[in-house]
A and B are shown apart, each in its own frame.
Chain A
Amino acid sequence: MALNQISVFLENKPGTLSEVTGVLAQAGIDMRALSLAETKDFGIARMIAVDVEKASDVLKEAGFVNSLTCVVGAVIPNEPGGLDRVLKVFNDAHVNLEYMYAFLGGGDGQACMIFRVGKEMEQEAEAALAAHGIRVLTQEDVSGL
């Protein structure tokens, strides 16, 4: 069920991210969400895309170290308390979060949240969401967004 996210290593110097987006544009990769994490010397670009395997291959070919990471996606209503509800579900299920980011586009008034959960907790996380009637995002959903 869980989603595949591409994580790309970025050296912290001007132009690196635009090289990555250039490679993806060239290959016609449709990106859905992008989040950047950075330290003083390096960063990681995390992306949700329609064809992640292809994106990973073309980036590798262009010399960008990257990996596919398992993440959990949830569709939540774009209204006050939407995120809070999901986090309570995770809290009750003892699912630990490493990082998360959001994007709009889950349909009318819907937001999508991407969660990186603790090691091998993806199934528990998704089951907990489903048990509370929260729609879990699949790779097929990503293509349809």
Chain B
Amino acid sequence: MNYYQKEIECASREELRALQDERLVKQVQHVWDNVPYYRKKMEAKGVTPEDIKGVADLHKLPFLSKADLRDAYPYGLLAVPLADCVRIQSTSGTTGKRVVAFYTQEDIDLWEDCCARAICAAGGTKEDVCQISYGYGLFTGGPGLNGGSHKVGCLTIPTSSGNTERQIMFINDLQATILCCTPSYAAFLGETMKEMGLTPQEIPLKAGIFGAEAWSEEMRKDIEQTLGIKAYDIYGLTELSGPGVAFECSAQQGMHINEDHFIPEIIDPDTEEVLPEGEQGELVFTAVTKKAFPMIRYRTRDICVLTREACSCGRTHVRMRKPKGRSDDMLIIRGVNVFPSQIETVLMNHGYAANYQIIIDRVNHTDTFEVQVEMTPEMFTDNMGEIADMQKTLVEGLRSMLGITAKVSLVAPKSITRSEGKAVRVIDKRKL
């Protein structure tokens, strides 16, 4: 087994808990002393740092949400003098104001450690050539994995996203063995290389670390086949540092949360009550080592399940199941909750490519819901009836998964725009 920091990654649960207790107490004091915005929240709840003796008291603390981050923009949650900060990163800002997160040098160092753990878990060593095709810049994907790759000692190729031809040239010419990017871009790179006539055996890659958007198990299989690699999931949020909050190991049975830095809880999103292990709910994180931008009980809006069962890889850190979807991604169509990842699962189960687009509109006060999928050479037949049947089967499959009826449109291949970063899956034309 390949670990970056074996001692902590495989520490006993008791050791981990003691470390979390100690770090949490310190962090709460740090925030109380330095972040008036959060101190006020604590005071409103009647909690003081003296009430927090360890993880068992975590539930007494108030939550932070995306709304708080917007209210406190830009400096309201900063916990160190600005002079001690060395970097900002920012969210992709799909809704409302961007979130700006601050880092001290130590914060960056610990973040990069987390990414290094993910690379090692995917089998990375100093012998590897790691191509980072996540965007660099304000987006955390590129900088985070770049730092992690350096720490592991991989030869790092910082291609950033875009320029697919050049990406493929570097993968082949420099014999890249690990690819880091969004899953939709990995799928696109795979599709392009397949068209160029490259077989999985000819592609030098052996592993991929893909995250920053929801993707299905079926999409994983597809990417693994076309690129001839093992595909690992990675999870993170800019608010908590970036990628590397949790990562997948070779067991591929959920992502290990870096619990020495991030303490997870699962809550009922409506009642805000903490749920017992194994129950599905909203993931909440408390970052206990971050100094500049320390999030306490930050509500991620990601819906998932935690398990502390022993993992065959030897790591003891709690595992989170792949989030069912970020509640930000969740669509409410005709009053029904729909996650794009559910649609993707149905499409792939029916043999369609993972490239699709969901178009929602409102006509005469009723939501219209259209799923566009690309016709593939494998599925095309000269028989109109058979194509109509395929459409019908897909409509039926979507209805049984989602509970509502979608219009399925077959569009020409390559007509849905390929994305080089996060894929644009949803076009919501409703004026709500």
Contacts and interface: CB of A to CB of B under 8 A. Distances in A.
Contacts of B388: 39
Interface string B388-432: 100100000000000000000111111100000000000000000
A144 interface: no
Interface stretch (A26-34, A64-72, A104-112, A121-129): A64-72
Contacts of B384: 37, 39, 44
Contacts of A98: 383
Interface stretch (B26-34, B143-151, B374-382): B374-382
Nearest to B388: A39
A16 interface: yes
B387 interface: yes
Contact of B409 (A16, A41, A44, A116): A41
A69 B383 CA distance: 10
A47 B355 CA distance: 29
A96 B36 CA distance: 82
B347 to A, nearest CB: 17
Contacts of A42: 375, 387, 409-410
Contact of A11 (B377, B380, B411): B411
Nearest to A16: B412
Contacts of A69: 382
A44 B382 contact: yes
15 contacts: A7-B382, A9-B375, A9-B380, A11-B412, A16-B412, A37-B384, A39-B384, A39-B388, A41-B391, A41-B409, A42-B387, A44-B384, A65-B377, A66-B380, A67-B381
Given A9-B410, A60-B377, A65-B413, 13 more contacts: A5-B382, A9-B380, A11-B410, A11-B412, A42-B387, A42-B410, A44-B387, A46-B382, A65-B380, A65-B412, A67-B377, A67-B382, A69-B382
Interface of A: 5, 7, 9-11, 16, 37, 39, 41-42, 44, 46, 60, 63-67, 69, 98, 116
Contacts, number: 46
Nearest to B414: A63
Interface of B: 375-377, 380-384, 387-388, 391, 409-415
Contacts of A46: 382
Nearest to A6: B382
B382 to A, nearest CB: 4
Nearest to A99: B384
B279 to A, nearest CB: 42
A39 B388 CA distance: 9
A114 to B, nearest CB: 12
Contacts of B415: 11
A116 B382 contact: yes
B298 to A, nearest CB: 44
Q: Which 10 A-B pairs have the closest CB atoms?
A: A7-B382, A69-B382, A11-B412, A65-B380, A9-B375, A11-B411, A65-B375, A41-B409, A65-B377, A42-B410
A118 to B, nearest CB: 11
B409 A9 contact: no
B353 to A, nearest CB: 12
A16 B412 CA distance: 10
A94 to B, nearest CB: 20
Contacts of B375: 9, 42, 65
Nearest to A8: B380
Contacts of B377: 60, 65, 67
Nearest to A66: B380
A7 B415 CA distance: 19
B357 to A, nearest CB: 13
A46 B388 CA distance: 17
Contacts of A66: 380
A63 to B, nearest CB: 5
The winner among A10, A11, A37, A98 for most chain B CB atoms within 10 A is A11
Contacts of A116: 382
